[in-house]
Amino acid sequence: MNVSDDEILAEAIRLVAEGIPVTFPVNGRSMLPFIVGGRESVVLEKAIAPQVGDIVLAFVEGNRYVIHRILKIDGESVILMGDGNLYGVEHCKVTDIKAQATYAVNSKGKRRSLVSRQSRRRASLWCRLRPARKWLLLCYRILEKVKAL
């Protein structure tokens, strides 16, 4: 029996809505340096009261799901952006937020909080460094390649 990614995602969202945390693998580089796609997973929990700075799973324009950080909430409208993205934002409604990512989990099972005070301070600083993000991400990628040697 083959289960599609959409079916797995739908089941994860259903479990989270029932209050059951789900560990979900992530792909891509859009959340670098805070979440490393392909190497880390995130723990998704029910998003009770989404706030600016939260990392959430949301259904965005273009009929797709993303795990990105909330940049702005204006009434029911939400603007999201991946930490590893240089440009572009996604838009959704508060009701389109299906879960909050609370931990990043590495391949050895070690959890790192995405909601601690320290993590939020780092994320806030990272957001203020957006003009330099291109160069910081380049340095990060070079360092990752050197570490892999």
Domains of the chain, start order: 5-148 (2.10.109.10)
The pTM score is: 0.92
**Looking at the predicted structure, is the pLDDT value of residue 141 above 80?**
yes
Phi, psi angles (nearest 5°) of residue 64? -145, 160
Q: How far is CA 85 from CA 29, 36, 40, 68, 75, in A?
A: 8, 13, 18, 10, 25
pLDDT digits (tens, 9 = 90+) for 99-125: 999 999 999 999 999 999 999 999 999
pLDDT digits (tens, 9 = 90+) for 22-74: 999 999 999 999 999 999 999 999 999 999 999 999 999 888 999 999 999 99
Grade residue 136 by pLDDT with cuts at 50, 70 and 90. very high
pLDDT of 3 reads 73
pLDDT of 34 reads 95
- The letter for the amino acid at 125 is L
Q: Which of 37, 76, 72, 77 minimizes the C-alpha distance to 53?
A: 72
> At CB < 8 A and 24+ separation, what contacts does 70-76 make?
71/127
